[in-house]
């Protein structure tokens, strides 16, 4: 199968042409060329019409020869020649030979060969018609009627149909006038009415076919647009995936490169802060060393978060799973954040059942989730606020840990965005609250790695509830 693109007279693309094994071009237009589509349909169906035309002529020639009509062989030879001429145009059009690349030639060659073919059939009237309308004449009339009906599909190009009917009737009526009688006059009137009926049928067929072609072309054009749009989307998705992969690799590499010198800074600043090798002298040096150590710890925490989010995006977040008791992990996380809660004058309380079953999970990741959620709740709680941590087993067997605060809360718009990496609420930005916008994104990635999900519920002025839900498959059933 070969394909090529052609352009119209203005140089714009009109379609993609594909040649199939049957030899006839099947046009799939990008911009619908109605006339070309019509002609391809006409030329595709023309051989069968010409074969039927020739067979009708052969039948009449055989009957006329047995009845002793003169010049029957000559007439049939004219019919065969006219049909052969028409058939040659099919070959030329199919292969776009010479002038058949021009639509002008398509139109006029089709009309001209139809006039010749119709005239050749109509010329049989000079042989078979007689004032008495013998059997052979009646058979010839029925044959002409069949030809007129069989030609109605040509109505999709009415000039071609009128060319065939006009050539046939003109010669037929001219021959009829040479043997004019009352019977012949009736036949002339009948053929005129019959031609009017078949013309109406041809016009109806033409309209139906044209609408079908236009609908098919429209559907094909839409299909091409969908294919093009899908290719654009696939390319954009591939580019986005490549960019995301490059970003994740960059974050992982830069995080690793930063952690090595940062650990040295933290170690040496801790030595200076504790004056392990003797007094420094001025106490301000000790304060500066403590500031350097605190800033380094903050930077290390941020780098660790970047590394976590890059690993999650790249699908490389690994879990070291074991059976864990959630209560000590939550209590440890709260203990680490007690000083933060005290400094902000926020009450931090736990409500954990004593009969909670163990979980199959990564303890380090779970602890990090709890530190992020509790730290986030403390950070956005006002002075005198309250943060509560609860854990429970649902009726469906899922294990839920919830962190609730009675802070400012979030609007639905903020709630829809806050889980995205590097996203912070407007309230946090305006108030100058520290944060990278990675905490909740990391929580969602880590709980997803455990097969669970992360839910946020919030209303402005009513606080926020964050829930991590482990699937029932991670709950370890303890034998009674």
Amino acid 423: pLDDT = 67
Continuous segment of H or E residues that includes residue 27: strand 25-28
Helix and strand numbers, DSSP H then E, in the chain: 13, 10
Amino acid 252: pLDDT = 67
Would you say 314 and 320 are in contact if contact means Cβ atoms under 8 Å apart? no
Q: How far apart are the C-alpha atoms of 294 and 229, rounded to whole Å?
A: 52
Q: How far apart are the C-alpha atoms of 274 and 268, rounded to whole Å?
A: 10
Q: How far apart are the C-alpha atoms of 258 and 300, rounded to whole Å?
A: 9
Q: How far apart are the C-alpha atoms of 7 and 286, rounded to whole Å?
A: 81
What is the chain's pLDDT, residue by residue, as a tens digit (480 residues)?
Answer: 333 333 333 333 334 443 333 333 444 343 335 566 666 777 777 777 777 777 877 877 787 777 777 778 888 888 888 878 877 777 777 776 666 567 777 778 888 888 888 888 888 888 777 766 577 777 777 877 877 877 777 777 788 888 888 888 888 888 888 887 777 788 788 888 888 888 888 888 878 877 877 787 788 888 888 998 999 999 998 888 888 777 767 766 776 677 677 777 777 777 777 777 777 777 777 777 777 877 777 677 667 766 776 666 666 677 888 999 988 888 888 888 888 888 888 898 888 877 888 999 988 888 888 888 998 888 888 888 899 999 988 888 899 999 999 888 888 888 877 877 666 666 654 454 555 667 788 888 888 888 999 998 888 888 899 999 999 999 888 665
Question: C-alpha distances in angstroms, 396 versus 81, 195, 366, 451?
Answer: 86, 80, 21, 15
With CA atoms as reference, report the closest residue to 376 among 309, 445, 440, 312: 440
Amino acid 21: pLDDT = 37
Amino acid 132: pLDDT = 63
Amino acid 96: pLDDT = 66
DSSP character at residue 2: E
Positive or negative, the Cα torsion across 39, 41, 47, 50? negative
With CA atoms as reference, report the closest residue to 69 among 127, 148, 129: 127
Q: Which residues contact 102 (CB under 8 A, 6 or more apart)?
A: none
Q: DSSP for 292-315?
A: HHHHHHHHHHHHHHHHHHHHHHTT
With CA atoms as reference, report the closest residue to 180 among 115, 238, 252, 125: 125
Q: DSSP for 219-240?
A: HHHHHHHHHHHHHHHHHHHHHH
Q: How far apart are the C-alpha atoms of 63 and 56, rounded to whole Å?
A: 11
Continuous segment of H or E residues that includes residue 359: strand 359-361
DSSP character at residue 478: P
Amino acid 20: pLDDT = 34
CB atoms near residue 211 (< 10 Å)? 10
With CA atoms as reference, report the closest residue to 390 among 305, 304, 466, 314: 466
Amino acid 83: pLDDT = 79
DSSP character at residue 278: S
């Amino acid at each position: 199968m070969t394909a090529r693109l052609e352009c119209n007279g203005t140089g714009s693309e009109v379609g993609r042409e594909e040649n199939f094994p049957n030899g006839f071009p099947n046009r799939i237009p990008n911009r619908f060329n109605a006339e070309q589509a019509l002609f391809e349909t006409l030329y595709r169906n023309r051989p069968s019409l010409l074969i039927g035309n020739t067979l009708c002529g052969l039948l009449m020639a055989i009957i006329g020869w047995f009845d002793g009509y003169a010049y029957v062989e000559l007439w049939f030879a004219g019919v065969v020649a006219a049909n052969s001429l028409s058939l040659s145009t099919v070959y030329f059009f199919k292969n776009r030979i010479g002038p058949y690349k021009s639509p002008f030639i398509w139109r006029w060659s089709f009309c001209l060969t139809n006039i010749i073919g119709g005239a050749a059939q109509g010329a049989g009237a000079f042989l078979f018609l007689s004032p008495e309308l013998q059997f052979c004449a009646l058979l010839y009339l029925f044959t002409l009627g069949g030809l007129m009906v069989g030609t109605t599909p040509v109505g999709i190009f009415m000039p071609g149909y009128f060319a065939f009917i006009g050539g046939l009737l003109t010669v037929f009526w001219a021959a009829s006038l040479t043997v004019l009688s009352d019977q012949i006059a009736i036949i002339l009137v009948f053929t005129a009415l019959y031609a009017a009926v078949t013309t109406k049928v041809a016009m109806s067929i033409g309209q139906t076919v044209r609408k079908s072609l236009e609908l098919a072309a429209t559907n094909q054009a839409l299909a091409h647009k969908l294919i093009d749009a899908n290719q654009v989307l696939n390319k954009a998705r591939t580019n986005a995936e490549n960019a995301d992969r490059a970003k994740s690799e960059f974050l992982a590499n830069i995080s690793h490169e930063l952690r090595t010198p940062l650990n040295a800074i933290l170690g040496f600043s801790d030595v200076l802060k504790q004056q392990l090798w003797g007094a420094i002298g001025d106490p301000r040096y000790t304060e500066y060393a403590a500031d350097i150590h605190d800033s380094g710890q903050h930077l290390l925490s941020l780098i660790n978060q970047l590394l976590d989010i890059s690993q999650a995006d790249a699908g490389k977040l690994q879990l070291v799973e074991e059976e864990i008791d959630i209560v000590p992990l939550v209590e440890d996380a709260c203990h680490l954040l007690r000083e933060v809660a005290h400094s902000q004058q926020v009450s931090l309380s736990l409500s954990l059942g004593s009969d909670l079953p163990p979980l199959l999970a990564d303890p380090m990741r779970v602890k990090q989730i709890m530190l992020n959620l509790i730290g986030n709740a403390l950070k956005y709680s006002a002075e005198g606020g309250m943060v509560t941590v609860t854990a429970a087993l649902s009726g469906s067997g899922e294990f839920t840990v919830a962190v609730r605060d009675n802070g400012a809360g979030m609007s639905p718009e903020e709630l829809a965005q806050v889980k995205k990496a590097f996203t912070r609420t407007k309230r946090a930005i305006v108030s100058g609250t520290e944060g990278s916008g990675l905490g909740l994104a990391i929580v969602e990635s880590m709980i997803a790695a455990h097969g669970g999900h992360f839910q946020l519920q919030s209303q402005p002025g009513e606080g926020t509830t964050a829930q991590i839900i482990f699937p029932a498959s991670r709950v370890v059933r303890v034998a009674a």
